[in-house]
Amino acid sequence: MEVIVDTDGTVNALDAVLRKVSSREDVQGLIVLAAAENGFSPGTIDPLLRSQELPLIGGIFPAILAGTRKLERGSIVVGLTAPVRTMRIDGLDRREVDFVSRIDERLPVDVPSNTSDTVLVMVDAFASRIDSFLESIYTVFGPDRTYLGGGTGTLAMDRSPSLLTNEGIVADSAVLALIDVSSSLGVRHGWTQVAGPFRVTDADGSVIRALDWEPAFSVYRNVIKEAGGGTIREDNFFEIARAFPFGLQRIDGDLVVRDPFAVEEGERLVCVGSVPNGSFLQVLRGDDDSLIAAAAEAAEMCSSRGHGVARSEGSAGIRVFFDCISRVLFLEDRFTEELAVVYDPDRPLVGACSIGEVANNGDSFLEFFNKTAVVADLDTGA
Q: What is the identity of the amino acid at 243?
A: A
- Same domain, yes or no: 329 and 264: no
Whole-number Cα distances in Å, 374 to 23, 274, 298:
31, 19, 7
- Same domain, yes or no: 264 and 367: no
> Given a cut of 70, is residue 377 above it in pLDDT?
yes
Last residue of a domain, one of 244, 267, 284: 284
- Same domain, yes or no: 270 and 310: no
**What is the Cα–Cα distance from 276 to 251, expressed in whole angstroms?**
13
Last residue of a domain, one of 236, 265, 284: 284
- The domain total for the chain is 2
Query: CA 182, 346, 318 angle in degrees (round to 5)?
Result: 35
Task: Identify the pLDDT of residue 107.
Answer: 80
Entry pTM: 0.90
- Same domain, yes or no: 10 and 37: yes
Task: Identify the pLDDT of residue 221.
Answer: 95
> Given a cut of 90, is residue 283 above it in pLDDT?
yes
Closest to 354 (Cα-Cα) out of 311, 312, 325:
325
Helices 335-342 & 288-305 angle (0-180, nearest 10): 10
Helices 130-141 & 99-106 angle (0-180, nearest 10): 50
* Mean model confidence pLDDT for the chain: 90
Task: Identify the pLDDT of residue 351.
Answer: 97
- Same domain, yes or no: 322 and 371: yes
- Same domain, yes or no: 129 and 198: no
- Same domain, yes or no: 270 and 168: no
- Same domain, yes or no: 172 and 320: yes
The predicted-structure confidence for 192-208, as pLDDT tens digits, reads as follows 999 989 999 999 888 99
**What is the Cα–Cα distance from 252 to 255, expressed in whole angstroms?**
9
- Same domain, yes or no: 155 and 278: no
- Same domain, yes or no: 230 and 271: yes
Last residue of a domain, one of 266, 284, 302: 284
The predicted-structure confidence for 81-130, as pLDDT tens digits, reads as follows 999 999 999 999 888 889 999 988 888 766 655 544 899 999 999 888 89
- Same domain, yes or no: 263 and 306: no
Of residues 242 and 67, which shows the higher confidence score? 67
Q: In terms of residue numbers, what domain contains 229?
A: 194-284
